Amino acid sequence: MSNEKLSTQPYKGTRDFYPCDMKLRNWFFGKIRETLELAAFDEYNAPMIESLELYIAKSGEEIAKEQTYNFLDRGGRMLAIRPEMTPSVARMVAAKMGELNYPLKWFSIPNMYRYERPQRGRLREFWQLNVDIFGCDTYEADLDVIQSAINVLRAFGADETMFKVHINNRRFFNDVIAAICGTDTEGSRKVSKIVDRKNKVTREAYVKDMNELGITDEQIAKIDSLYTMDVFEATALCPDSVGSGELVSLFDALKATGLLKYCVFDFGIIRGLDYYTGTVFEVFDEDPENNRAMFGGGRYDNLVGLFAKNAKVSGVGYGMGDVTLENFLVSHKLVPDLYGEDYRVLVTRFDDVPYENYIALVDELRALGVTSTVYIGTKKFGKQIDFAVKDNYTHVAIMGGDELAGGKVKIKNLKTREESEVERAKLGEYFA
């Protein structure tokens, strides 16, 4: 079976999670779950493999094939490893459309794969928090998902100096562009693509692209002024737009609920995908070193329509990758010492004490809720202590023949180096 050439490295763009890495993930996913469940979001999941058709129907054949790991099964089905969760959840809602109890408040933290060049914040395998509300097409649902994003970050101790939710509205965008430029729906869509790329290209290129669409320099100047307006100035330009009304309702509610300090109106937020129809938002890391979108989302009203022609279940939601969240938490120093919070006791052993006595002692400790194990290796006492220190144990329990006979155990605190002799019946008091 031996093969010296077998690599020990994980596949390109993927990560191994050793226990210390996993402890960090479990901590932050745990906090996310807790925060969302407290707000009555329910967790769901779907298979890692879906029919490739699902992604083609949503994003077109080229993007779907380019972006996914896809392959044929032996039954000739064209499959893909999910690159995102939205098509799966739309499929699940469509499958039980008549039975479900709307509005649905759902979330998931699935692993997924995208075929792309690995870079900072972007890997081939990642986990993505998905939060969605289905079956409510008014501002209350938009407010609820935005509040959940804010509360997730606040649960880690983040405040308004560390992140901001940048909010726009696609209906407002289309209407105000039409008002300024006289464009039709398709024209406004083309302008949105240019605005979406604005920060990635030079000013010259931006202006040139606009001019090529027939947008004059004067019109460009009017669009420019929207980037510095607040939401009330901006929507006043286009008071009859349904999008303006949605923005005003949302921002009024953000203000009334004390959430406005975490939010800002940003006319540059487009979200590339065509399926967004109303509110769109991105949550930015305010650290200038790391100033990028961590979450992105918005309202999409027709995804379930992929599955049933006349179906309409409106949705609003967002996705957040684990890699960007981890970067945010680390760069803002929001990760506490994850070891040392809870007791973790290594029961050391001596050869002259029958082994079952150590098992009985760990059983007592575990019954008290104290994480513990007997040292099961063969090293001498001093090395057992070294093992405990290296493995983040907080205490060692020492029980030789004398202690056993006396119903006692020595407990050494590895941080303070203090050693106490404790009656076994009183271990519960020691580890209170």
Instruction: Identify the DSSP state of 103.
Output: S
Neighbour-count burial of 150, counting CB atoms closer than 10 A to its CB (0-12 exposed, 13-18 middle, 19+ buried): buried
**Which one, 49 or 229, has the nearer CB to a second copy?**
49
Neighbour-count burial of 239, counting CB atoms closer than 10 A to its CB (0-12 exposed, 13-18 middle, 19+ buried): exposed
Tokens of 193: 């693509």
**Which one, 179 or 374, has the nearer CB to a second copy?**
374
Q: Scan residues 189-228 and list those touching a second copy (CB under 8 A).
A: none
Applying CB under 8 A, among 387, 422, 430, 431 the residue interacting with a second copy is 387
Distances (CA, A) of 139 to 174, 198, 244: 18, 28, 12
Q: How far apart are CA 251 and CA 143, in angstroms?
A: 9
Query: Is residue 405 close enough to count as binding a second copy by CB under 8 A?
Result: no
Applying CB under 8 A, among 372, 395, 412, 427 the residue interacting with a second copy is 372
Min CB(331)–a second copy separation in Å:
24
Indicate the residue type of 240. D
Q: Which residues contact 87 (CB under 8 A, 6 or more apart)?
A: 50, 54, 55, 57, 58, 303, 306
Q: How far apart are CA 98 and CA 207, in angstroms?
A: 49
Q: Scan residues 226-265 and list those touching a second copy (CB under 8 A).
A: 253, 256-257
β-strand pairing of 371-374 with 344-347: parallel
Backbone angles phi, psi at 271, to 5 degrees: 60, 110
Query: Is residue 391 close enough to count as binding a second copy by CB under 8 A?
Result: yes
Stretch that binds a second copy, among 101-109, 227-235, 288-296, 396-404 (CB under 8 A): 101-109
Applying CB under 8 A, among 239, 288, 377, 382 the residue interacting with a second copy is 377
Stretch that binds a second copy, among 8-16, 194-202, 401-409, 420-428 (CB under 8 A): 8-16
**Which one, 91 or 171, has the nearer CB to a second copy?**
91
Whether the Cβ atoms of residue 306 and residue 94 lie closer than 8 Å to each other: yes
Q: Which residues contact 161 (CB under 8 A, 6 or more apart)?
A: 286
- Convert residues 340-369 into a mask of x (bound to a second copy by CB under 8 A) and - (unbound): ----x-x-------xxx--xx-x---x--x
**Which one, 22 or 221, has the nearer CB to a second copy?**
22
Location of structure tokens 């939401």? 231
Q: Scan residues 145-174 and list those touching a second copy (CB under 8 A).
A: 147
Query: Is residue 98 close enough to count as binding a second copy by CB under 8 A?
Result: no
Q: Scan residues 123-142 and list those touching a second copy (CB under 8 A).
A: 125, 133, 135-136, 138, 140-141
Min CB(131)–a second copy separation in Å:
13
Q: How far apart are CA 392 and CA 320, in angstroms?
A: 31
Min CB(96)–a second copy separation in Å:
7
Stretch that binds a second copy, among 199-207, 213-221, 226-234, 385-393 (CB under 8 A): 385-393
Applying CB under 8 A, among 28, 32, 85, 105 the residue interacting with a second copy is 105
Q: Scan residues 300-319 and list those touching a second copy (CB under 8 A).
A: 302, 305-309
| Helix 170-181, helix 185-197: angle, nearest 10 | 110
Min CB(133)–a second copy separation in Å:
7
Q: How many residues bind a second copy (CB under 8 A)?
A: 103
**Which one, 281 or 300, has the nearer CB to a second copy?**
300
CB atoms within 10 A of CB 112: 21
Q: Scan residues 261-280 and list those touching a second copy (CB under 8 A).
A: 275
Whether the Cβ atoms of residue 325 and residue 335 lie closer than 8 Å to each other: no
Q: Scan residues 10-29 and list those touching a second copy (CB under 8 A).
A: 10-12, 14-19, 21-23, 25-26
Applying CB under 8 A, among 84, 144, 209, 285 the residue interacting with a second copy is 144
Tokens of 12: 């390109």
Element spanning 217, H or E: helix 217-226
Tokens of 377: 């290796």
Query: Is residue 8 close enough to count as binding a second copy by CB under 8 A?
Result: yes
Q: Scan residues 37-96 and list those touching a second copy (CB under 8 A).
A: 37-40, 42-51, 53-54, 57-58, 69, 71, 73-75, 77, 79, 81, 88, 91-92, 94-96
Query: Is residue 373 close enough to count as binding a second copy by CB under 8 A?
Result: yes
β-strand pairing of 263-265 with 104-108: unpaired
CA-based torsion, 259, 261, 266, 272: positive or negative: negative
Distances (CA, A) of 138 to 53, 170, 244, 278: 31, 15, 13, 10
**Which one, 80 or 167, has the nearer CB to a second copy?**
80
